A and B are shown apart, each in its own frame.
Chain A
Amino acid sequence: MKITSDHFLEHADAALADPDKAQRRDLLGLFMPLARDAAAARYGDFEALRVHLKQVRRHTMEHLEHYLTRFEEEALRNGNQVHFAATPEQLNSTVLSICQDHGARRVAKGKSMVTEETALNDHLQQAGLDVIETDLGEYIIQQAGETPSHIVGPALHKSLAEIRQLFLDRHDLGERPLEQVADIVAEARGILREQFLQAEVGIIGANALVAENGSTMLVTNEGNGDLCANLPPVLIVCTTLERILPRVEDAMALQRLLVRSATGQPQTSYTSFYSGPQRDDDVDGPLETHIILLDNKRTDILASDYSEILDCIRCGACLNHCPIYVGVGGHAYGWVYPGPMGSVLTPLLTSLEQSNDLPNACTSCGRCAEICPANIPLPDLLRDLRQEESQRQLNSPRWRRGLRVHAWFLRHPALYQRLSGWLMPVLAWLGKRRGSLRTLPFAAGWTGTRDFPAPEGGTFMRQYRKRGKVRRRRG
């Protein structure tokens, strides 16, 4: 996927100017956290589960070579062909050559963020293959020529009316009402069923890879990934190194966290462990299966101070809880992964040069870290990226100058207190009549769209001292 993260601010402006879409996002930001909280509360000790998985993850990452080797051995024993891809291009060309070896024309795909990352569809389509996304949300945005706005609900930004018009334009099915959500689902079901039956290759992602038995875990509600994994004669699993977990029980622990954080369910309709091609006892299933393990900078991230982002299980909860994501939507982020996890991953998987606005798309409110099922300190990682950005002088000179002035004042508390002690009463006096200020010097960007609440007149330190809590320090 082509990255446009360097236009984050313009994208965000445009998104905020569309009230209908903004309202859809507000609803998402309201209801998804409620569903997650209810599910976590029903679970019992959700925190203990979170801590447990974190320990297992850290252990696995520490011994990733061991577990990766084990997974490979077991997967080969199960009859899979295992491929490694260091770069997105290697993954794409491996998939294409498998398709070409079988003379395949039609490919049915389950939802896979990894293949969004490598822009696999473009690569296959350029080679003349028919690639069809089968997750309903992915299918809708594929038909619309758009990209996902959310990693779990890729088409949630589109209204029923938009999808209706899209289907009327794209599906040659004559006059029909197509007015209910159920009509949309039924129409897509009919079209996609044919695709499952005709596809020569199925492509799916994996929510976890199990080292002890070489199987891959797939979690869906639609069952589209399972149809891709059971009907076409060739199956390709596109995944990344860090999905590995030691045991099936660990995959189940991940699943418990993933599903409750993503949709609030106890388990999705389908949780499947696929191990390889047809066995002697099978009467269906693929005859040939491939697993492609992509690195794409994960090994660099593992060696860096950002390694905890590899614990991300792609539940989307940090998106739903983020005031910035809910405000501007997924497309503003300009690449595959939006929201807090995306603002960490995008600079690491592409470059900070191309995406230096993203780590700043954060109010440091900390909600994402509070609910992240993988216990990733997202605000800390974003702050570290901002620091790196400042050190490498990637942010605007004006910001850096402002930060330098601010830092200088913070290092001189006496001066800072004297200045604020003088400034606050002035601002309070200026804003006395309205209770707020329309404009402020040096802050036109802030006051351009909202008023600045007038201060009360005093400062915290003055109050603190007045109450005799601060003893005089030396000097």
Chain B
Amino acid sequence: MAESPRSEIMARLRAAAGASASATTPEQIARELAALGFASAAVLPAADTCIAFMANVLANKGSVELAADRAEAVRVVGRYLYNRFRTHKLVAGNDPRIAAMPWRDAGVLPRFGAAENGDGAALSYARLGVAETGAVVTWTGRANPGRNNLLPEDHLVLINREDVVATLEDAWLRIRQELPAGSWPRGINFIAGPSSTADVEAQLVMGAHGPRRWHVILVGATPAEALAEAKVLTAATGP
């Protein structure tokens, strides 16, 4: 019988590595790897993590609003929906944090579940924000089906101030803490901008396939001056 591609490939790898590498034990390999450590992160545009996060979200062509608490977040979302779509329709995953918000106060009636083709706006409650790159992190599951990030015209994301971390390594540390080994979700998504393309004439256009707009709402006690400072920083450094 002919050799399977797998055993053929493994045999070739063994031959390529030579005797010394194959004699190394997994423990030695792990020690070697640990000794390499992690990379150094990018310099943040501001010392304050939340300001740096907002500045990078803006640089990524997102928009940012502040909400002192969840009650205000509801009003912010309601206003956004009305201004953009003249409706209060919204789809959101079955996230207990979203379900517990006082939606009726702003007249918003969320549909809980997976987004469908034609939905105007979807709301996600991000697990994390990353200041280094201006990204929010979600993962797939009932609380945020994967398609909710992708199908709507506008993607609204709530993120708690205390969930904004400085670097991508910090983000993975938190993810490892929150998700016990062996129970990783189907997809972990770092989102850092609206769906965009520069494939025609190298001209940047939003809404290539997914959201045309990406709106991040930072929930918690953030002074308005912080957002103003982030805007200045983004204007100064450019995209």
User: Which chain A residues have a beta carbon within 8 Å of chain B's beta carbons?
Assistant: 27-28, 31, 42-45, 48-49, 52-53, 55-56, 59, 62-66, 68-69, 77-78, 83-87, 90, 134-137, 140, 153-156, 158-160, 163, 181-182, 184-186, 189, 192-193, 196-197, 213, 215, 221-224, 226-227, 229-231, 241, 246-249, 252-253, 255-256, 263, 265-279, 281-285, 293, 295, 299-300, 302-303
The reply to whether the CB of B104 lies closer than 8 angstroms to some CB of chain A is no
Q: B190 near A62 (CB under 8 angstroms)?
A: no
The one of B12, B15, B21, B38 that contacts A295, using a Cβ cutoff of 8 Å: B12
Residues on A with beta carbons closer than 8 Å to the beta carbon of B145 = 282-285
Which chain B residues (132-149) contact chain A, with CB distance < 8 Å? Answer: 132-135, 140-142, 145-147, 149
The reply to whether the CB of B8 lies closer than 8 angstroms to some CB of chain A is yes
Residues on B with beta carbons closer than 8 Å to the beta carbon of A267 = 60, 133-135, 190, 192
Residues on A with beta carbons closer than 8 Å to the beta carbon of B9 = 84, 86, 241, 293, 295, 299
A49/B39 contact (C-beta < 8 A), A140-B200, A181-B201, A267-B192 known: yes
Which chain B residues (145-159) contact chain A, with CB distance < 8 Å? Answer: 145-147, 149-150
Q: B184 near A270 (CB under 8 angstroms)?
A: no
Q: A53 near B56 (CB under 8 angstroms)?
A: no
User: Which chain B residues have a beta carbon within 8 Å of chain A's beta carbons?
Assistant: 4-6, 8-10, 12-17, 21-22, 24, 26, 29, 32-33, 36-40, 42-43, 56, 59-60, 113-114, 117, 132-135, 140-142, 145-147, 149-150, 168-169, 172, 182, 184-203, 205, 207-211, 214, 237
Q: How far is the CA of A53 from the CA of B100 in the complex (A)?
A: 44
Residues on B with beta carbons closer than 8 Å to the beta carbon of A87 = 5
Q: How far is the CA of A221 from the CA of B237 in the complex (A)?
A: 21
A-B contact pairs, 25 of them (CB 8 A): A42-B42, A43-B43, A44-B42, A84-B6, A86-B8, A135-B199, A137-B197, A153-B199, A159-B201, A224-B208, A230-B147, A265-B192, A266-B42, A270-B190, A271-B192, A273-B187, A279-B141, A279-B185, A281-B142, A282-B145, A282-B146, A284-B114, A285-B145, A285-B187, A302-B13
Q: B184 near A275 (CB under 8 angstroms)?
A: yes
A370 to chain B, nearest CB (A): 20
Q: B200 near A136 (CB under 8 angstroms)?
A: yes
Q: A62 near B17 (CB under 8 angstroms)?
A: yes
Residues on A with beta carbons closer than 8 Å to the beta carbon of B42 = 42-44, 256, 266
B220 to chain A, nearest CB (A): 23
